[in-house]
Structure 1
Amino acid sequence: MTKWTYNHSHRKTSSKPIQATLLLIGGIILLIFAIGLSILYGASDITARTVIQSIINFNSNSTSHQIIRGLRIPRALAAALIGAGLAMSGALMQGMTRNPLASPSIMGVTAGATFSMAIALVVTPGASNFIMMLWAFLGAGLGVAIVFGVGSISKTGLTPVKLALAGTAVTALLSSLSSAIAIHFNIAKDISFWYAGGVSGVQWLQVQLLTPIALIGFVIALFLANSITTLNLGEDVAKGLGQRTFAVKLIGTIVVLLLTGAAVSVAGTIGFIGLVIPHITRFLVGVDYRWIIPCSAVLGGLLLVVADTISRMVNPPFETPVGTITALVGVPFFLYLARREGGSM
């Protein structure tokens, strides 16, 4: 049993409802504040008063009002929804696999979705946002299936490090195939958006597609939360307690595919949010997934909104890919986890 598998006493002592409640409330307040800053900051100099006026009394003849309502508000909301979705996906994957290195970007989910988007640009050029989302869902499922298949080719079975290595290899393979497709079919410019990652071009239609998926994923994840907490005690223990572990993992995987596929179809490749945020949340609130999932959602949304705002401040008026900002945080964290968990196997 590794240090990632919790026993009953650890589960009881590690539940921190007071800290979790404070984190949830404080995180929501900070998220709202960050969204406000995101709406305020941009190439055009807009005051807080103008933002309030555009919301309360929209003037279609005002360029500032059009920028706020048509560009900045949907961008900020999309960043919050995508960050929340990726963080919840990471929390679910880590909980279901009991693998501290699991996340959509590392386990091939994101790369699979991007690969399918490259195929979609060739097969169905000019497809609607909804059709592109469907392609992303299929690709996300393909990516995770290959990773688990490759990781299982071992007499000793799956381990956190093996899954991480398999995920890294499959991600590299699918990314290379995506690049080859982009070059051969001359769609490199089109697919470069998904490689860079970002929410700069998000419109209200995409927010409207993201919102129900995020809400459905959040509700189902909360419904699974107690089962995932039990699953962390070990699969044999969970089965002994009467849990249908296969059903929990199946439903959880579907939620991960939905959340990640939707995120990639709108914002492209944004890595490491699903890795870093669940660990930070678990450290702060304990191992009870009834708290980990909502707190991860709030902190994930906060991180991406802040990262998107920073991406506009690094080299104005040009924008740095937001995936670069999240990678600066995530890569050192991943190396630390890989070293720690690798030494504990």
Structure 2
Amino acid sequence: MAIASSTTTTPRSARLLRGVVAVIVLVVVFLASLFVNVADISPIDVLRGTMSDRHALYFFQQRIPRALSAALAGSSLAIAGLLMQVLARNRFVSPSTVGTVESAGLGLVIVAIIAPGMPLFGKMLIAMVFAMGGTAIFLTFLAKIKLRDSPLVPLVGIMLGSVISAVATFLAVKYGLLQMLSTWLFADFSAVLSGRYELLWVVAGLAVLTYLLANFFTIAGLGEDTATNLGLSHRTILWSGMAIVAAVAAAVVVTVGSIPFLGIVVPNIVTMFRGDNMRENIPWVAFGGAITVLVCDTIGRTLPDFFTWLATGTAAGVGEIPVGTVMGAVGGIIFLYLLLKGDPRRGDAK
């Protein structure tokens, strides 16, 4: 992935305006996530402080943590996808298409079998170790592929993830953990409460670290020879980046579950409009990931009520669709479009 920037010729005022618009959109989507499909709670009640004690408890202990966890998980996973694409030199890879997420899920199943009472942070560490192991296997396969930008790369990763997922499913069925595994592999924010999502602030710190080290990761993405000629250890940078990806994937899976295709769709859309400068793109990828997950979460809460209202004329608490399902449907379509469209910068657009 080449070092290029589409922002160098853009006036500073225009870049500032775009940033302000992005912040406004994020705030609007965040507020919508707080109040859409919430009975008897309105922004006026919150501003005036006229909520009942029951509503206040629900709003501050469940609704705000839910929106924050969606924003944190979305932004961090999108950045992890961008980082993996730079290091692997392929725009179709992400934690959900190279076996990283599935490996984290396998680690959680093993923890649930051996030490079910382990604290949440300990589970994240175990899941991170397994995620790094799965990523290492993928990198081993990647070294055998000569054309790094080939669509064959994500297909190999998806097959690897399927094998790892099959092992995890076998163990889950054998020990009665299938429902728990399904929860981990499909993100659902309905169970997020205050005190159960704070681990995601760790991945926010990892996102900041990725931004600070973006230039090193970009150089490593140019290849081992280039990195070595510039006096850098390609292996050290590569594994540092993959450790960040594994930690992000593990933390998100442990806290809310897997969000498929997010790490592919958002970075590709951003680079499509802004070029390949990783450092410049990270803030936009973070905004895009947060907004995408917040929107998918809101859609998942409102669609069942909407269809029930169409059918019966009433819609009161009929349930919700997990974010992982909504993002899987939307992201899968976009992923197929990107795969078939090709990369116009390489001249292979269909």
TM-score, with length taken from structure 2: 0.86
For residue 75 of structure 1, what is the aligned residue in structure 2? 66
Give the one of 136, 143, 162 matched to 1:172. 162
For residue 62 of structure 1, what is the aligned residue in structure 2? 53
1:6-28, Cα deviation, whole Å (9 max, x unpaired): 3x7xx255646656544433222
For residue 241 of structure 1, what is the aligned residue in structure 2? 230
For residue 87 of structure 2, what is the aligned residue in structure 1? 96
For residue 203 of structure 1, what is the aligned residue in structure 2? 193
For residue 333 of structure 2, what is the aligned residue in structure 1? 332
Q: Is 1:31 the equivalent of 2:31?
A: no
Give the one of 109, 124, 129 matched to 1:138. 129
Identity of aligned pairs, percent?
29
1:241-268, Cα deviation, whole Å (9 max, x unpaired): 3343222212211111111111111111
**Offset of residue 334 of structure 1:** 2.0
Give yes or no for contact 2:90–2:148 (8 Å, CA) kept in 1: no
Aligned equivalents of 1:82 and 1:98: distance in 2?
A: 24
- Structure 2: runs of 5+ lacking an equivalent: 306-317
Give yes or no for contact 1:20–1:291 (8 Å, CA) kept in 2: no
Q: Is 1:192 the equivalent of 2:185?
A: no
Aligned equivalents of 2:28 and 2:7: distance in 1?
A: 30
Aligned equivalents of 1:24 and 1:14: distance in 2?
A: 12
1:208-255, Cα deviation, whole Å (9 max, x unpaired): 2211x1232122111221223344555433433334322221221111
Give yes or no for contact 1:20–1:284 (8 Å, CA) kept in 2: no
Give yes or no for contact 2:172–2:181 (8 Å, CA) kept in 1: yes
Aligned equivalents of 1:314 and 1:34: distance in 2?
A: 17
Q: Is 1:107 the equivalent of 2:107?
A: no
CA RMSD of aligned residues (A): 2.6
Letter in 1 for 2:79: M
Query: Which of 90-99 and 285-294 deviates more?
Result: 285-294
Aligned equivalents of 1:20 and 1:242: distance in 2?
A: 33
TM-score, with length taken from structure 1: 0.87
For residue 281 of structure 1, what is the aligned residue in structure 2? 270
Letter in 2 for 1:66: L
Aligned equivalents of 1:343 and 1:328: distance in 2?
A: 29
For residue 313 of structure 2, what is the aligned residue in structure 1? none
Give yes or no for contact 1:89–1:104 (8 Å, CA) kept in 2: yes
- Structure 1: runs of 5+ lacking an equivalent: none
Give yes or no for contact 1:24–1:298 (8 Å, CA) kept in 2: no
Letter in 1 for 2:332: V
1:116-145, Cα deviation, whole Å (9 max, x unpaired): 111122112233222221222122112212
- Cα–Cα, structure 1 residues 73 and 16, in superposed 2: closer, same or farther, change >3 Å? farther
Query: Which of 240-249 and 190-199 deviates more?
Result: 240-249
**Offset of residue 158 of structure 1:** 5.2
1:293-316, Cα deviation, whole Å (9 max, x unpaired): 121111101110111111001103
- Cα–Cα, structure 1 residues 286 and 75, in superposed 2: closer, same or farther, change >3 Å? same
Aligned equivalents of 1:22 and 1:285: distance in 2?
A: 15
Aligned equivalents of 1:118 and 1:23: distance in 2?
A: 44
- Cα–Cα, structure 1 residues 142 and 238, in superposed 2: closer, same or farther, change >3 Å? closer
For residue 49 of structure 1, what is the aligned residue in structure 2? 44
Aligned equivalents of 1:168 and 1:238: distance in 2?
A: 29
Number of matched pairs: 332
1:140-185, Cα deviation, whole Å (9 max, x unpaired): 112212222234346x475543431221111111211222112111
- Cα–Cα, structure 1 residues 99 and 22, in superposed 2: closer, same or farther, change >3 Å? farther
Aligned equivalents of 2:326 and 2:9: distance in 1?
A: 30
